[in-house]
Amino acid sequence: MTDVANTLERRTLSIAGAEIELFEGGQGAPLLFLHSGQGVTAGDPFLALLAKERRVIAPSHPGFGKSSLPDWADSVDDMAHIYLELMDRLDHGKVDLVGCSIGGWIAAEIATKVPERIKRLVMIGPVGVKIGTPDKLDIPDVFAMPQEKFAKLIFHDPDKFRPDLKTMPEEAIAAMVRNRETLALIAWEPYMHNPKLKHRLHRVTVPALFVRGESDGLVSAQYLQGYAGLLPDARTETIAKAGHSPQLEQPQVLLTKVLAFLNA
Amino acid sequence: MKAWHFSENAYPYLPPADEYESIRVNLPNKNYDPEKGAKLYDRFLDEWLIAEDEGMEIMLNEHHQTATCVDPAAPIVLGALARLSKKARLLILGNPVANRRQPVRVAEEMALVDVLSRGRLECGFVRGVPYEVLPANSNPVRMNERQWEAIDLIVKAWTSHDGPVSHEGRFFHHRNINIWPRPYQQPHPPIWVSTTSPGGAQQVGTRGYVQATFLTGFDGTRKIFDSYRKGWREAGRGNDVPIDRLAYAALVYTADSEQRAYEGADKLLWYMRANKVPFHYQYPPGYMPVSAMAQVMRGAALDQHAALKDKMVVEKAVEAGIMMAGTPDQVYAQVKRFYEHVGGFGHLLIMGQAGFLEHDDTVHGIRTFAREVYPRLNADYPDTAISSVQQERVVA
């Protein structure tokens, strides 16, 4: 693997009262990458691979990483609007849009607002809609479960991703806490979805790829199928030996599938 | 000094603690027998009225989806007490306004109780403990901001008398605010706010509301009261902070012999021992500031819980200042020592019943305190006393 620290460069942009941290790198067609609840860093292994083929633009969502959170922002819709302005500002024209988990939800909101600005859409373990019945949460309640149970639900192999909280740098642990706080702010109620979104997704006529890890305990196969079915031109893929974050557990396999779709 | 009898209305008839994960949030209510529960309500209401007969005031609170406090709708019990009692002040501490969707409804409930009791309401507001956010489906992020907007909106509802006013705020929206009845007390019932953090206390001091803190011990309480006094003075309310602005809640058991007192006090510690709650209910995201939560993630919470476990015997709890227990002389001395350490406070909120402390023992504790300790505290600390720590008094 190349020196990832050199692959992506960090800068900051002021948008609508928010200071947005942005990681950029690589050459090729522009790709806007929207991270999961775990956040994004300059050393992200999946982005390093992706940047070999594409111009990758990966912001930290407001309230995540080092991006500030304006007082007025408290919803996924707010984040989508901030990114609309980011897209205006960067002026890349049409972009490929890739979102993971909560980033998938933001991507879906953006795509319903400006479908003409999107080339292709990739949703990796996405949340954002309500598919099942009212008497069961579609996504297990990540704010009300023991850490160990959470790790088992999101990873195929949790042992490889167990952070050592005693030795983790102060800054990293604070970022982790803050990411989770912002996730709760925007996804608490309605839990992990916007009831209106499913009635808007028909506008997203561009080709879309919905991906989940086979061991994902948060986004079920049924949920992914139901979600993809709301878009006129969407297909689904499953990644073996991966959980909620195939970009962490199977970056190479995911890259192959994503590029095959984007280049089709 | 005013003393308040307080009971959490716990339901203690539970299976062994190792058979359930948490006493709050997810303990199935099949463990609650409504027959036993009805008898408990009768009993706890009786005990409040006995405390009133003994010259004490009445305090109650509210929690949700828990066996530790089966009073999920405190305004309803408060309504019953407003009719059953005759002279005691009635303190609800409090309304969890960050978790209530309609502050104007809270203003209506409290105004009704104030009229029903002929102006005996003392209206407390609380942010709500962390394990309340799941039962209330309440977003744990920005709770402080919601709480303060709700309190201001309630005061507006209480004090607007010339027809409808409106509110379009950050968290709450109300097009037509014109409550009936309006409060009995003018301009509105006394307001209490509970907080266990110095930052929160300073804000309460700025507004001059009554500050209550729970089981924060000698040094924790002093810090909180210092912050309150600072906020009070910086807001230009004058140098003197009346003691009736500050309240402290402790476990208190007084009996005619030391042995009986310690046995009763040990039963009160059920309140702490039974509070089995897993980490993920104790620490919802956004409830505490990022820096404090980062320390918790590193293991600070484990240290805190270990320290708390140490205090779960009567001697240690007394030493820490979270409990006053003993004969009348001993309890009197313990309250005095606490009073002097923290700079003085005007309200002692007495958690005088918990768990398996049965009716007769509860009443014995109430009566012994009320007859043999309370008059001495009243003589030493009249309501007109000023709260300040020793150094400040020397300088002044």
Mean pLDDT of chain B: 95
Structure confidence at residue A6 (pLDDT) = 54
* Inter-CA distances, B47 with A150, B77, B249, Å: 45, 13, 18
Task: Compute the distance between CA of residue A123 and CA of residue A141 in angstroms, rounded to an integer.
Answer: 21
CA distance B269 to chain A (A): 27
By residue count, chain B amounts to 396
Q: For the residues of B14-44, what is the DSSP string, one character each?
A: ---GGG-S-SBSSS-GGG--HHHHHHHHHHH
- pLDDT of residue B394 exceeding 50, the answer is no
Domain locations in chain B as residue ranges: 2-284+313-395
User: Among A145, A177, A182, whose Cβ lies nearest the Cβ of B293?
Assistant: A177
Question: Which of B132, B293, B295 is best to mutate for the A interface (most A CBs within 10 A)?
Answer: B293
The arithmetic mean of pLDDT across residues B196-223, rounded, is 95
* Best mutation target, A150, A177, A186, to test chain B (most B CBs within 10 A): A177
Residues of chain B found within 8 Å of residue A73, distances taken between Cβ atoms:
none
> Is the CATH code 3.40.50.300 the one for domain B2-284+313-395?
no
The residues of chain A scoring below 50 in pLDDT are 1-5
Helices B143-159 and B103-116, packing angle to 10 deg: 50
One-letter amino acid at B175 equals: R
Contact residues, chain B to chain A, C-beta under 8 Å: 25, 134, 137, 139-142, 170, 278-281, 284-286, 290-291, 293-294, 297-299
For B344, left (φ over 0), alpha (ψ -120 to 50), or beta? left
Query: Where does the pLDDT of residue B172 fall: very low under 50, low under 70, confident under 90, or very high at 90 and above?
Result: very high
Quickly count: other Cβ atoms within 10 Å of residue B40's Cβ: 18
Minimal Cβ distance to A174: which of B280, B294, B299: B294
Average pLDDT over residues B271-292: 94
Q: Which residue of B has its CA nearest to A191?
A: B137
Residues on chain A touching B294 (C-beta within 8 angstroms): 170, 173-174, 177
**Parent domain of A155:** 4-262
Nearest chain A alpha carbon to B137:
A189
In chain A, how many domains are there? Answer: 1
- Interface A-B, measured as beta-carbon pairs within 8 A, has a size of 62
* pLDDT tens profile B47-68: 999 999 999 999 999 999 999 9
Question: Rounded distance, CA A209 to CA A219, Å?
Answer: 15
> ipTM of this model?
0.93
**Chain A partners within 8 Å of B279 (Cβ):** 146-147
Q: Which pLDDT value is given to residue A4?
A: 44
Chain A residues with beta carbon closer than 8 angstroms to that of B297: 165, 173, 176-177
pLDDT tens digit sequence for B338-391: 999 999 999 999 999 999 999 999 999 999 999 999 999 999 999 989 998 755
Start-to-end C-alpha separation, chain B: 23
- Nearest residue to B273 via CA among B243, B237, B316: B316
Helix, strand, or coil (residue A58): strand
Our CA angle for B327, B49, B12, nearest 5°, is: 70
Partner-chain contact A184 B280, CB within 8 Å: no
Chain A residues lying within 8 Å of B281, measured CB to CB: 144
Contact, B3 vs B63, CB < 8 A? no
Residue A144: its chain B contacts at CB < 8 A? 25, 134, 280-281, 284
Query: Under an 8 A CB cutoff, do B139 and A188 touch?
Result: yes
**Interface touch A173/B284, C-beta < 8 Å:** no
To which H or E segment does residue B173 belong?
A: strand B173-177
Instruction: State how far residue B160 is from chain A, nearest Cα, in angstroms.
Output: 29
When the pLDDT of each residue in chain A is averaged and rounded to a whole number, the result is 95
Q: Which residues of B touch A182 (CB under 8 A)?
A: 141
* Residue B149 amino acid letter: E
Which residues of chain B neighbour A66 with C-beta distances below 8 Å?
Answer: none
Give the model's pLDDT for residue B310.
77
- Minimal Cβ distance to B290: which of A144, A178, A185: A178
Rounded to a whole number of angstroms, the distance from the CA of B170 to the nearest CA of chain A is: 8
Query: Helices in chain B by DSSP H: which ranges?
Result: 34-53, 74-84, 103-116, 143-159, 198-207, 217-234, 258-268, 270-273, 279-282, 290-295, 301-310, 314-320, 328-342, 359-372, 374-380, 390-395
Contacts of B130 in chain A (CB under 8 A): none
pLDDT at B390: 55
Q: B392 pLDDT exceeds 60?
A: no
Q: Which of B281, B290, B295, B298 is best to mutate for the A interface (most A CBs within 10 A)?
A: B290
Assign B249 a pLDDT band (cuts: 50, 70, 90). Answer: very high
What's the CATH code of the domain at A25? 3.40.50.1820
Q: Three-state DSSP class for B112? A: helix
Question: Is pLDDT of B395 > 60?
Answer: no
Q: Cα(A186)–Cα(A77) distance, rounded to whole angstroms?
A: 9
- Is residue A237 within a helix (H) or strand (E), and if so which, with residue range? strand A234-239
